[in-house]
């Protein structure tokens, strides 16, 4: 399991401020990113307390302390990917502006302020593929991302349904948007962030190591797509589509701080011919983490 030092993570706040400043964007202590680093800094300052006192401190505001870890780890990965990739500044400005807005806690979010976390999901998926040394780029819209392998280009629409009721609506919207890319060369792909549906507000996975965490997330996602297979078939009908089911969480013992940020993705291939399906399946072995 890839552990982190808070002191190293806290250095990213300056990197982020510099990135915003270089693009002429405002970055102050009132935005949600700054607040995540504030709580993380409080944890770091308190680490000289004995174990019992430290545990009591965390429990007093557990949600904010755990969320600070989850989102700082996520944002650090995003910043690494953005800083090391050539991206159109106009696109980057829009994404970073959205990224800094929104609510601190997921439970505070409503349907009128989802843009910050919607953008976070796009950028988190971007950083996930970047970390796997894949060629990925941000789009303006339709698609949100383009991922290229030696075999194909994948046009990816990212959706973050907030409930089972909104799942079908999001899938239909993604499919409609993907139809706009059908004249271009590419595999129509939708990526669904399923934290709110599967995990709810609990983004903490108590696991002894990363492999057991990945195995558990794989089981959750595999069961989810099996349960919803009939709905997918109804929506897609005979249209070809690759669907990526995505989950991210904090991984580690709940008393073991800092934790690590783990993402797992399951890919499902619908309505492509047999040869094309086989080729996409081979690509997925490169694109996605091992299930072992």
What's the pLDDT score for residue 180?
A: 84
Report the percent of the chain where pLDDT is more than 70.
Answer: 90
Q: How many domains does the chain have?
A: 1
Residue 1 lies in a domain: no
Render pLDDT for 240-283 as a digit per residue (tens, 0 to 9).
Answer: 999 999 988 877 655 555 567 788 899 999 999 999 999 999 99
Max intra-chain CA distance, the chain: 62
Determine phi and psi for 160, rounding to 5 degrees.
Answer: -130, 75
Question: Is residue 220 within 8 Å of 247, Cβ to Cβ?
Answer: yes
Other CB atoms within 10 A of residue 284 CB: 16
The better pLDDT of the pair 230, 2 is held by 230
Residue 47 lies in a domain: yes
For residue 146, the enclosing domain spans 6-287
Render pLDDT for 108-145 as a digit per residue (tens, 0 to 9).
Answer: 888 888 999 999 999 999 999 999 999 999 987 789 99
| Token duo for residue 209 | 């190591």
Residue 214 lies in a domain: yes
What's the pLDDT score for residue 1?
A: 46
Single pTM value for the model: 0.91
| Start-end of H helices in 84-114 | 89-99
Cβ partners under 8 Å of residue 183, min gap 6: none
Residue 67 lies in a domain: yes
CA atoms within 13 A on the CB side of 261: 20
Residue 292 lies in a domain: no
Residue 198 lies in a domain: yes
Render pLDDT for 203-250 as a digit per residue (tens, 0 to 9).
Answer: 677 666 677 778 888 888 989 989 999 999 999 998 999 999 998 887
Residue 115 lies in a domain: yes
């Amino acid at each position: 399991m890839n552990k982190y030092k808070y002191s190293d993570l806290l250095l990213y706040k300056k990197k982020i401020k510099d990135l915003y400043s270089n693009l002429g964007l405002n970055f102050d202590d009132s935005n949600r990113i700054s607040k995540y680093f504030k709580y993380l800094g409080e944890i770091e300052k308190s680490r000289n307390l004995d174990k019992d006192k430290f545990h009591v401190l965390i429990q007093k505001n557990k949600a904010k302390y755990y969320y600070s870890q989850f989102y700082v780890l996520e944002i650090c990965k995003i910043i690494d990917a953005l800083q090391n990739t050539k991206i159109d500044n106009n696109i980057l400005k829009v994404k970073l502006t959205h990224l800094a807005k929104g609510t601190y806690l997921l439970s505070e979010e409503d349907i009128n302020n989802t843009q910050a976390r919607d953008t976070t999901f796009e950028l988190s998926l971007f950083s996930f593929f970047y970390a796997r040394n894949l060629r990925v780029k941000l789009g303006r819209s339709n698609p949100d991302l383009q991922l290229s392998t030696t075999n194909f280009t994948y046009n990816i629409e990212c959706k973050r349904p907030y409930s089972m009721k909104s799942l079908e609506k999001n899938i239909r919207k993604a499919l409609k948007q993907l139809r706009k890319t059908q004249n271009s060369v590419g595999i129509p792909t939708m990526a669904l962030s399923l934290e709110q549906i599967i995990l709810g507000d609990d983004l903490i996975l108590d696991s002894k190591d990363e492999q057991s965490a990945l195995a558990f997330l794989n089981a959750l996602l595999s069961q989810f797509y099996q349960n919803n297979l009939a709905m997918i078939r109804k929506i897609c009908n005979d249209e070809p589509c690759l669907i990526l089911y995505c989950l991210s969480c904090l991984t580690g013992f709940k008393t073991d701080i800092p934790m690590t940020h783990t993402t797992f993705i399951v890919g499902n291939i619908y309505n492509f011919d047999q040869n094309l399906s086989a080729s996409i399946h081979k690509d997925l072995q490169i694109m996605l983490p091992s299930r072992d």
